[in-house]
Structure 1
Amino acid sequence: MRLLYFVLLFAALHTSAQQRPNILYIMSDDHDADAISAYNKTLIATPHIDRLAKEGMLFKRAFVGNSICGPSRATLMTGQHSHKNGFRDNRDRFDGTRDNMAKVMQQAGYQTAVIGKWHLQSYPTGFDFWKILPGQGQYINPRIINMGGDTTTIKGYATDVITDEALSWLRHQDPNKPFLLLLHHKAPHRYFLAPLKYIEQYQDKKFPEPATLYTDTAGRGKAWQLQTMSILPDLKLSSDLKVDPQYLMNIPALKPDSAEAAYYYAIMNRIPEPDRSRIKAIYAKRGEIIRREQPSGKKLLAYKFQWYLQDYLACVASIDENIGRVLDYLDSAGLTRNTVTIYTSDQGFYLGENGWFDKRWMYDVSMQTPLLVRWPGHIKPASVSNALVQNIDFAPTIVSTAGVAIPNWMQGLSLVPVLTGKQPTLNRPNLYYHFYEYKADHTVLQHLGIRSERYKLIYFYTVNEWEFYDLLKDPQEQHNLIRSTAHQSMITKMKQDLVALRKEYEDNEPAGALP
């Protein structure tokens, strides 16, 4: 296997740059598929991202194996699940000495770059060029860590700045060598701050409420009882929704603590004038409503939901604008025809379903990620795939488009046969999931499980609670069938499949009652 790998690598190195495609991988942070109009037209229009669907392939069943920022990025770099790449949650540090996808591409003769959010605690390796945000980064005047380890502050809005840096690199890349560029946006990550023009556009928009916004979680398992990612109590009026604390000080139930108030002022003070005054005036409308009505319960939740989506989707609108800038550059530079363009997110994101925001869960809203791929001459335009794919497949796909053998340490599968229409699906009956981070943020219990085409089995192993869903009849995953007598044979089979898949992926860590 190792000999075959080097034979194919040698062949790739001797293939002309014109025959090997450039690869542009664009990843936004916390961008749910429903916030892309190619997937769902009810919330927002994203014409530039939609262009990739019109000219390429849209995946309806793309998922992640650990729905949280850093682990998804480690999986991209390795094609491995979290237990194999060593990055289980955002407190870990990625080992840059290990093999990774960028190093494979370098060895194949590609010039490699990553620009934007990195979030792996260590500096990138395998890249000829990198500029990364420290940690989550700032929306306004973001700091950038350069290859020398020095940090500079660049004036502007993060999405614009990251795009500017990516376009600058593209303009100066070697035209005689193919490139791999990872363009990683910060937005639309919490605390959902958009540029003024999009705040103005979205301030009065009203969005349809999800059917489960007011779901009563009483009677659900311990995981639902412990979570702290509900919009009503956990999405903060000042830090998240930018309501000036002065409007809340005389309302005991809504008065922000010192940390929340400090975060509000830190956000606002970073915005330069005159935009700051205009933005504060827009958000003052929210403060006036709160002071006048002093809403609580469902009424407060309804307000919070609308304001949350206004801010989140305003951030997405800026993302879409900047995707358009990049696609326009590829056109003008004559690069479109020979460039594989991939758009995705590090996971899905709750937009009010179950009354929640954030991600982490194995439920489809969180586990699913948007995935759109354009490869002119190879993908039939306006293709739609229902193949069951996962983010462990991204690295093998990138490598195989370059004509390089997939290293045996990658656990994923190449999507090239699906992209090119040679096969409609992958030889994979189940996807594996394992979430590790507990209490650091949002108090979601550790859990693992498997998802098939129709069914899902979840095990919250620290409290020994199981959940089982029929995704065909219950796509919103509201009815736990774990005690259903009609489903016991399927549940038994899924439990056996879970144990087998853990063994296949070599996840041998203790997990409750599982062997």
Structure 2
Amino acid sequence: MGKHKQPNVLFIMSDDHAAHAMSCYDSKINETPNLDRIANEGMRFDNCFCTNSICAPSRATILTGLYNHKNGVKTLGDKFDSRQPTVQKTMKENGYQTALIGKWHLGYGGHSNPSGFDYWNVFPNQGEYHDPVMYDMGEEKVYKGYATDIVTDLSLDWLKNRDTEKPFMLMCHHKAPHRPWDPDEKHMHMYEDVDIPEPPTFHDDYSNRAEAAKEAQMRIERDLRERDVKAKPPENLSAGELKSWYYQRYIKDYLRCVASIDDNVGRMLDYLDEEGLAEDTIVVYTSDQGFFLGDHGWYDKRFMYEESLRMPFVIRYPRAIKAGSVTKDFALNVDFPETFLDYAGIDIPEFMQGRSLRPVLENNTPDDWQTSMYYRYWEHLSIEHRVGAHYGLRTHQHKLIYYYGEALGSADSMDEPRTPEWELFDLEKDPYEMHNVYHDPEYADTVEALKKELYQLKEKVGDHE
């Protein structure tokens, strides 16, 4: 790092926050002024993707720098083995103070407890929005208040009491805006008098696509529960009116939860400013994956479709990242730990499978930077959402998806074979992924080339199942 000391790292991650619910990503449905501060004072990644769009697997990848078949967390049913090497352990061994506060969601008890942190205080499983139970270094406590405020309060307390002679890495992990989207009192009445715009694909009928899209059970009007929308629908609504009613109930509570995150991120940024820490602190805001906000008529995630695959990722570090930068270069969640280690001046372990984003952040993208990425969702037809297991490849122009139709012994999967299916989308001509062109003769050469690249990438990351 030359004359500059090792940077602090403040890694703020929410759960299920889609990029298209952030105004710095040109959201049509809300404003996020404090999240935008990070983007405006640093860099926004327009093509940041997760390698498996579901909570626990993404979190395991971010800690280890490994794809899920390597870190052992392929599905929600797989517990994380905390004995394996992680980014926080490596940073702690090299003089960093480390802390994790908020959502862990990688199993609890025994070898699944957080490790490599000087301090940790986490929710059990998903945690509750109001008056949550948390495990403070293993001691069960009940905290009065709202989860997003509490995680921020505890994070600020830890920062205020840290050893100021050491750099820190703080992972501040919010529960929100995860289902069931319970807002706090402060934001309870936001959007009461407005209608949130419905997305362009809201009335998708799933024609000209794989059967997997039709089979999925996460439709706004059919699969949301009364607990999710906090009310029974009015009687005598037409089918279209009922779908719109469910959407408005869902999306408004979702956005109210996001508003609380935005407020609390503002508190964290203000603290860094007040303490003179902003120049020497890498600040990241991201989510563990994307989310369907009525897109394709859905809520939830799991699919390799864009709204689920894309992660918000904004990062600020005034010493190295030019304010107001935007990049379309690819970034993956498997790249995050390598990036932090690189900036800390710590050797990146050879076992990690990602690549430091530092050259991209400093506008010096290498000629051999990745232009395609490998994705795999392992849960096959889980009871809750019934999304078929699949893997695939995304390039800057195309997306190739293979629904292989088997559980392959994965946890949370059902032993219900399906006929394998392929999907190909031309993202330039069809950005909303409404037209599968896999069987179009005009794309025959493209299919052949992409399949070859897919299996090369699959082999490169060591996924042999």
d(CA) in 2 for partners of 1:467, 1:214: 20
Counting only pairs closer than 5 Å after superposition, residues 70-149 of structure 1 correspond to structure 2 as 70-121=56-107, 122-147=112-137, 149=138
**Equivalent-residue separation in structure 2 for 1:328 and 1:210 (angstroms):** 34
Q: CA deviation at 1:171?
A: 0.3
Superposed CA deviations along residues 236-292 of structure 1, whole A, max 9, x for unmatched, are 2x210001xxxxxxxxxxxxxxxxxxxxxxxxxxxxxxxxxxxxxxxxxxx5xx34x
Give the aligned length.
447
Superposed displacement of residue 221, structure 1: 2.2
Equivalent of residue 377 in structure 2, options 435, 438, 461: 435
**1:497 is the counterpart of 2:456:** no
**2:305 counterpart of 1:370:** no
Q: 2:248 aligns with which of 306, 325, 335?
A: 306
Counterpart for residue 49 of structure 1: 35
2:189 alignment partner, SS class: helix
2:416 aligned residue: none
The aligned counterpart of 1:240 is 228
Which stretch of the first structure deviates more once superposed, 336-345 or 202-211? 202-211
**Secondary structure class of the residue paired with 2:10:** strand
Amino acid paired to 2:10: L
Q: TM-score, normalised by structure 2?
A: 0.94
Residue 425 and residue 357 in structure 1: after superposition, are their counterparts in 2 closer, same or farther (change >3 A)? farther
- Cα distance change, pair 174–425 in 1 and its aligned pair in 2 (3 A): farther
Letter in 2 for 1:458: I
Counterpart of 2:357 in structure 1 is 415
Q: 1:150-205: per-residue Cα shift (whole Å, max 9, x none)?
A: 21000000000000000000001111000000000000000001112212122232
Aligned counterpart, 2:396:
453
Counting only pairs closer than 5 Å after superposition, residues 120-199 of structure 1 correspond to structure 2 as 120-121=106-107, 122-147=112-137, 149-199=138-188
Give the equivalent residue in structure 2 for 1:317.
Answer: 259
8 Å CA contact retained: 2:209, 2:434: no
Map of 1:35 onto structure 2: 21
Distance 1:202 1:352 in 2: 17
Distance 1:426 1:106, change over 3 A: farther
Question: How many Å separate the matches in 1 of 2:34 and 2:368?
Answer: 29
Residues 418-427 or 339-348, more deviating: 418-427
Secondary structure of 2:258's partner? helix
Aligned to 1:276: none
Structure 2's unaligned 5+ residue stretches are 406-418
Kindly tell me: are residues 377 and 219 of structure 1, through their superposed partners in 2, closer, same or farther at Cα, counting changes over 3 Å? closer
User: Match of 2:202, as an amino acid?
Assistant: L
Distance 2:193 2:425 in 1: 37
Give the Cα–Cα distance (whole angstroms) in 1 for the partners of residues 55 and 365 of structure 2. 31
SS across alignment from 1:206: coil
Q: Secondary structure, in 3 states, of the residue corresponding to 2:237? A: coil
CA shift, 1:429, in A, is 2.5
CA shift digits 1:84-115 (9 cap, x unpaired): 11100111010111111111101111111100
Cα distance in structure 1, aligned partners of 2:37 and 2:76:
33
Asked whether the 8 Å contact 1:32–1:369 carries over to 2, the reply is yes
Once the 2 structures are TM-superposed, how far is the Cα of residue 397 of structure 1 from its aligned partner?
0.6
Question: Retained in 2: the 8 A contact 1:418–1:426?
Answer: no
Q: Distance in 2 between matches of 1:32 and 1:217?
A: 21
Instruction: Please tell me whether the aligned partners of residues 434 and 449 of structure 1 are also in contact (alpha carbons under 8 angstroms).
Output: yes
Aligned AA (1:455): H
Match in the other structure for 1:473 = 429
Assess if the C-alpha contact under 8 Å between 1:57 and 1:373 holds in 2.
yes
User: Per the alignment, do residues 188 and 425 of structure 1 end up closer, same or farther by CA in structure 2, a change over 3 Å counting?
Assistant: farther
Equivalent residue for 1:271? none
Contact 1:194/1:315 (8 A) holds in 2: yes
Q: In structure 1, how many angstroms separate the alpha carbons of the residues matched to 2:122 and 2:317?
A: 27
Match of 2:91, SS? helix
Is residue 413 of structure 2 the alignment partner of residue 485 of structure 1? no
- Aligned counterparts, 1:319-358, within 5 A: 319-358=261-300
C-alpha distance in structure 2 between counterparts of 1:437 and 1:503, whole Å = 20
- Which of 335, 345, 348 is 1:403 aligned to? 345
Q: Which residue of 1 aligns with 2:237?
A: 295
Question: Residues 452 and 219 from structure 1, CA distance in 2 versus in 1: closer, same or farther, beyond 3 angstroms?
Answer: closer
Q: CA deviation at 1:219?
A: 5.2
Residues 425 and 60 (structure 1), Cα distance of their counterparts in 2 relative to 1, 3 Å cut: farther
Normalised by the size of structure 1, how large is the TM-score? Answer: 0.85
Amino acid at match of 2:67: H
8 Å CA contact 2:64–2:337 kept in 1: the answer is yes
Please state how far the C-alpha of 1:425 moved relative to its aligned partner.
7.3
Pick closer, same or farther for the CA change 1:129–1:426 going to 2, 3 Å: farther
Q: Return the structure number with greater helix share.
A: 1
Q: Identity of paired residues, percent?
A: 45
Give the 3 Å change call, closer, same or farther, for CA 425–46 of structure 1 in structure 2: farther
**Which amino acid counterpart does residue 433 of structure 2 have in structure 1?**
E
Task: Please name the residue that 1:5 is paired with.
Answer: none
Q: Distance in 2 between matches of 1:467 and 1:165?
A: 45
Give the CA deviation at 1:41: 3.8
Q: Distance in 1 between matches of 2:298 and 2:230?
A: 18
Is contact 1:205–1:310 with CA below 8 Å preserved after alignment? no
After TM superposition, give the deviation of residue 218 of structure 1 in Å. 4.4
Deviation at 1:422, TM superposition (A): 2.0
1:220 is displaced (CA, Å) by 3.4
Q: Distance in 2 between matches of 1:372 and 1:184?
A: 15
